[in-house]
Amino acid sequence: MYDVNAIRAQFPILSRDVNGKPLTYLDNGASAQKPQVVIDAITQAYSQEYSNVHRGLHFLSNLATDKYESVRGIVQRFLNAPHEDDIIFTSGTTEAINLIAYSWAMPRMQAGDEIVLSIMEHHANIVPWHFLRERMGVVIKWVDCAPDGSFDAQAMIDAMGPKTKLVAVTQMSNVTGTRVDVKAICHAAREKGIASLVDGSQGAVHGPVDVQDLGCDFYPITGHKLYGPSGSGAIYVHPDRQAEMRPFLGGGDMIDTVGRDTVTYNKPPMKFEAGTPGIVQTIGMGVALDWLMQIGMDNIAKHEAEITRYAAAKLQSLNWLQVQGTTADKGAIFSFTMEGAHAHDLSTVLDKRGVAVRAGSHCAMPLMEHMGVTATCRASFAMYNTKDEVDTLVSALELCHDLFA
Amino acid sequence: MANETFEELAETFEFLDDWEDRYRHVIDMGKAFAPLDEAFKVPATKVEGCASQVWLVTSFDGQGPDAVLGFQGASDAMIVQGLIAVLHALYAGLTAKEVGEVDALAELGRLGLNDHLSAQRSNGLRAMLARIQENAAIEAAR
């Protein structure tokens, strides 16, 4: 039995007031709040177990290193990756995708080669590929979604041609909540000898992930959306792809030996982790993922599906509200606009009612352009949100309608 | 010091105790504010630093410190459009020299719209104030 109130009780921030109202936090797509276990782990790490990792032989360095390195195995289990060495720590999805762009894609692509993207990508899965377009003449091929937000996986498969080297696609749109059949895409890509990157920024938060079943080559996650600290993240890299990668950032930890005219590198995955990492952030992410696995990602998915159905019915019944993305199996992310009011108007009034939403282009300008909107409001739900909070949102939107219509 | 229109506005706001009524009033002011001719919506009049789109056009009747300020403006966000109308009430009709003497943040604070005044807020009220004050300072120095 999923007890949402017991889960809420573990997030101290959820019991605070905002603008004199109980907080209704619906900006989880941007970043999720942190449970007490994560907050405690951060405090514990800094107050009792902190030192730099990988380089000292003293007690605290060994302890911190053990704690930090144990997270690799946790991420491996969370993603069902074959080996913990397939996991590279990063500061988040953005760094992870940039790593792949510089380490894997740049050395093996040339002018005219293609990268296939969906129109639903957020900027972290667009701009690194623009670098290759700008600097190397790589061609970006876009696959659109339908007006209701649905995405045709076959269209993406058909877009992969003889010059395609990589397909990069989100598992779940951060704007419309659309789920993509990434498994079909990755399997088709593998058959054609094309590498696949599945952006798990949103997808990994809302349900179980199995990178072996998906058949992807790269799968980045970001810790702060997974109830962990900001500045934490990781990427699964298929061992064959990892063997093809050259180092990206240079510095300490990623080297074996450094001479005046020579340098040799550490073994992967550390070869791709230069400098002092986000030690405590990573430890905190490990605690968050462990905690999520104890609750069960499938249980979280069930709870969120119920919230999504409830919210979809409520929001779509407001005939003065335009909801972007209405697919039946969508994730708990709702973008909407209201005739006559700007997204910032809506978020300002919602904020007065204690409801936190995001307003703007959601770091997904190509999708916004495709949908024909400049800005939307986005309510994104998490494991701790309730139907009552959907009602609070709807009631605040009714006030917006009253004020702006 | 502010002009008479603003004093009246401040008096009205004294009777509006909850935020909903204050917002309603600001929004209504925005709706009633003369629309800006599309021809004026150009990069030169656009105020950067606002999350929504904002245009401000200042004009001066006369020259130098005694020139009288007039301005038009528009935003695609209704609350911001209302804030432009509030700024119009605050500044329009003042001389270029007087504009520089208004403690805008203190005056706007009297309306209970304080949450729009923090530097970090992206609604751009500060950017709009800066644009008006800058244009007035240039005129006053002529």
Q: Give the domain CATH number at A383.
A: 3.90.1150.10
Check whether B136 has a pLDDT greater than 90: yes
B4-140 has which fold? Answer: Sufe protein. Chain: A (3.90.1010)
Question: Best residue in B19, B26, B28, B52 to probe A by mutation, most A CBs within 10 Å?
Answer: B52
Question: Best residue in B17, B54, B79, B84 to probe A by mutation, most A CBs within 10 Å?
Answer: B79
**Residue that finishes a domain, picked among A244, A270, A294:** A294
Residues A384 and A370 both lie in one domain: yes
Residues A284 and A311 both lie in one domain: no
CA dihedral A246, A249, A251, A253 (to 10 degrees): -70
Residues A16 and A48 both lie in one domain: no
pLDDT at residue number B117: 61
Check whether B24 has a pLDDT greater than 80: yes
pLDDT at residue number A211: 98
Residues A130 and A144 both lie in one domain: yes
Check whether B5 has a pLDDT greater than 90: no
Looking at this protein, which amino acid is placed at residue A176? Answer: T
**Mean pLDDT across chain A, nearest whole number?**
96
Q: Which residues of B touch A377 (CB under 8 A)?
A: none
Residues A253 and A356 both lie in one domain: no
The Cα A265–Cα B113 span in angstroms is 58
Residues A151 and A258 both lie in one domain: yes
Query: What percentage of chain B exceeds 90 in pLDDT?
Result: 60
Residues A142 and A221 both lie in one domain: yes
Residues A187 and A302 both lie in one domain: no
Q: Work out the pLDDT band at A56, boundaries 50, 70, 90.
A: confident
A399 touches chain B (CB under 8 A): yes
Q: Which residues of A are catalytic?
A: 363
pLDDT at residue number B124: 77
Average confidence (pLDDT) over A228-240: 98
CB atoms under 10 Å from CB of B26, counted, come to 26
Residues A134 and A63 both lie in one domain: yes
* A89 Cα to chain B: minimum distance (Å): 32
* Nearest residue in B to A396, CA atom: B20
Residue of A334, A357, A315, A312 lying closest to A25 (CA atoms): A357
Is A341 strand, coil or helix? Answer: strand
State the DSSP H helix or E strand holding residue A18, giving kind and residue range, or none if neither.
strand A17-18
Taking the alpha carbons of A347, A349, A352, A354 in that order, is the dihedral positive or negative? negative
Q: Work out the pLDDT band at A290, boundaries 50, 70, 90.
A: very high
pLDDT at residue number B125: 81
- Contact call for A352 and B51, based on CB within 8 A: no
- Contact call for A359 and B78, based on CB within 8 A: no
Backbone angles phi, psi at B121, to 5 degrees: -65, 135
**Residue that finishes a domain, picked among A276, A294, A312:** A294
* A403 Cα to chain B: minimum distance (Å): 6
Residues A355 and A274 both lie in one domain: no
Average confidence (pLDDT) over A383-392: 98
Helix axes A343-352, A387-404, angle to 10 degrees: 120
Lowest mean pLDDT among A278-282, B20-24, B51-55, B61-65: B51-55
Q: Work out the pLDDT band at B59, boundaries 50, 70, 90.
A: very high
* A344 Cα to chain B: minimum distance (Å): 7
pLDDT at residue number A124: 97
CATH number at residue A250: 3.40.640.10
Residues A260 and A312 both lie in one domain: no
**Residue that finishes a domain, picked among A294, A329, A358:** A294
Question: How long is chain B?
Answer: 142
Residue of B5, B10, B1 lying closest to B113 (CA atoms): B10
Q: Which of A340, A345, A374 lies closest to B79 in CB terms?
A: A345
Residues A256 and A353 both lie in one domain: no
Total domains in the fold of chain A: 2
Give the pair of three-digit tokens for residue A340. 């006559």
Average confidence (pLDDT) over B5-14: 91
Token pair 């916004």 in the structure block, residue: A368
Q: Which of A341, A349, A360 lies closest to B51 in CB terms?
A: A360
Average confidence (pLDDT) over A141-156: 97
Half-sphere exposure of B48 (CA within 13 A, CB side): 2
pLDDT at residue number B2: 63
The domain of A380 spans: 4-30+296-404
Check whether A137 has a pLDDT greater than 60: yes
Q: Decide: A145 and A120 in contact? Cβ < 8 Å.
A: yes
State the DSSP H helix or E strand holding residue A43, giving kind and residue range, or none if neither.
helix A36-48
- Contact call for A352 and B24, based on CB within 8 A: no
